[in-house]
């Protein structure tokens, strides 16, 4: 079977499953489902960290999964939002994620310089994995639970909004990059990415952002805020992609895993979302909620 056919079949199975989980799973079940996906991502991140022993990979996976479970047990689903405010623990985690992505940006800009302090340390790379995966879980759960008592599908629409602008950006970046891409974004990290492609991705996502602003009847005085947060989310999604590429280069591997035929691993499909979700959720909590 060709790689394209494998990609299509995998997408036809995966897309409806994700759609059903976001829309129809009870919140408590949704927490565990997302934790399961994060655990799979953690197993793959163990390879990016330079961990080759399967038992050690499983140990790392269970460690990350246990952190999700700890949050589930410590913070009941009904207490995540209190009087319209996200609880401080989750807000702090999202804030730390924003700091981490700023650090990641500096690492990508400097790559391959100054990699000695982290590239040869599986502990450091494993820690970066925790900073990538746990805030993603927090962000998705926080968004899904937003205004749930008022509208059970409002939080789902926020998740679809992030998915929509990131996927639109990916499609726009691909076609614009292929047609007009000349200036490499970070050739040492990901040779295929171009500045023109990034700009095309941001422009493509603008339509989704504008539609969402109309759908949610955003006050005209806040339109620029929504456009800015949308643009930042799209830009940082590219950072998530570059971040995984950097760690894969350091580990000397092409794909994060083989779980999804034709697509590679779970991280290969959600790398951009691991940056987009926490940053968008933090902005939403601070300025949009």
Angle between the 223-251 and 154-180 helix axes, to the nearest 10 degrees?
70
Show me where the domains of the chain are located: 3-288
Tell me the average pLDDT across 97-114. 92
Q: What mean pLDDT is reported for the chain?
A: 88
Spatial contact of 278 and 98, defined as CB atoms under 8 Å apart: yes
pLDDT of residue 227: 85
How far apart, in whole angstroms, are the C-alpha atoms of residue 190 and residue 184?
9
Query: Using one digit for the tens of pLDDT, what is the confidence trace for 48-69?
Result: 999 999 999 999 999 999 999 9
Kind plus residue range of the DSSP H or E element containing 220: none
Residue 8 has pLDDT above 70, yes or no: no
Per-residue pLDDT band at 22 (split at 50, 70, 90): very high
* 165 or 223: which leads in pLDDT: 165
Q: Is 252 left (phi over 0), alpha (psi -120 to 50) or beta?
A: left
Token code pair at residue 271: 């790398």
Residue 204 has pLDDT above 60, yes or no: yes
Query: Using one digit for the tens of pLDDT, what is the confidence trace for 207-247?
Result: 888 877 777 777 877 888 888 998 899 889 989 999 999 99
pLDDT of residue 107: 93
Token code pair at residue 276: 């987009």
**What is the DSSP code (8-state) at residue 194?**
E
Per-residue pLDDT band at 5 (split at 50, 70, 90): low
Per-residue pLDDT band at 10 (split at 50, 70, 90): low
Token code pair at residue 85: 């405010």
pLDDT of residue 261: 63
How far apart, in whole angstroms, are the C-alpha atoms of residue 41 and residue 28?
20
Q: How many CB atoms lie within 10 A of CB 225?
A: 15
Q: How many residues are present in the chain?
A: 289
Query: In this predicted structure, which of 46-55, 98-107, 246-255 has the lowest mean pLDDT?
Result: 246-255
Query: In this predicted structure, which of 10-19, 160-169, 248-257 has the lowest mean pLDDT?
Result: 10-19
How far apart, in whole angstroms, are the C-alpha atoms of residue 157 and residue 167?
15
How far apart, in whole angstroms, are the C-alpha atoms of residue 163 and residue 203?
16
């Amino acid at each position: 079977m060709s790689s394209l056919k494998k990609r299509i079949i995998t997408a036809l199975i995966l897309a409806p499953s994700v759609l059903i989980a976001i829309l129809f799973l009870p919140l408590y079940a949704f927490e565990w489902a997302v934790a399961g996906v994060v655990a799979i991502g953690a197993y793959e991140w163990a390879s990016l960290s330079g961990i080759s022993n399967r038992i050690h990979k499983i140990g790392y996976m269970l460690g990350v999964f246990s952190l999700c479970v700890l949050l589930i047990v410590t913070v009941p689903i009904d207490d995540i939002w209190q009087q319209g405010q996200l609880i401080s623990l989750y807000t702090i985690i999202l804030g730390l994620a924003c700091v981490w992505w700023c650090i990641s940006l500096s690492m990508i800009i400097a790559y391959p310089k100054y990699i000695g302090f982290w590239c040869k340390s599986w502990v450091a790379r494993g820690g970066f994995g925790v900073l990538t995966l746990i805030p993603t879980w927090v962000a998705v759960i926080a968004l899904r639970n937003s205004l749930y008592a008022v509208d059970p599908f409002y939080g789902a629409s926020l998740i679809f909004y992030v998915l929509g602008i990131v996927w639109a950006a990916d499609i726009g970046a691909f076609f614009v990059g292929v047609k007009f891409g000349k200036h490499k974004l970070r050739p040492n990290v990901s040779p295929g990415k171009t500045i023109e492609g990034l700009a095309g991705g941001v422009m493509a996502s603008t339509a989704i952002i504008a539609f969402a602003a109309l759908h949610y009847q955003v006050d005209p005085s806040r339109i620029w805020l929504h456009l800015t947060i949308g643009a930042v989310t799209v830009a940082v999604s590219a950072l998530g992609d570059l971040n995984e590429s950097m760690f894969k280069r350091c580990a000397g591997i092409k794909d994060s895993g083989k779980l999804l035929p034709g697509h590679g691993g779970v991280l290969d499909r959600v790398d951009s979302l691991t940056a987009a979700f926490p940053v968008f959720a933090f902005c939403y909590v601070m300025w949009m909620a």
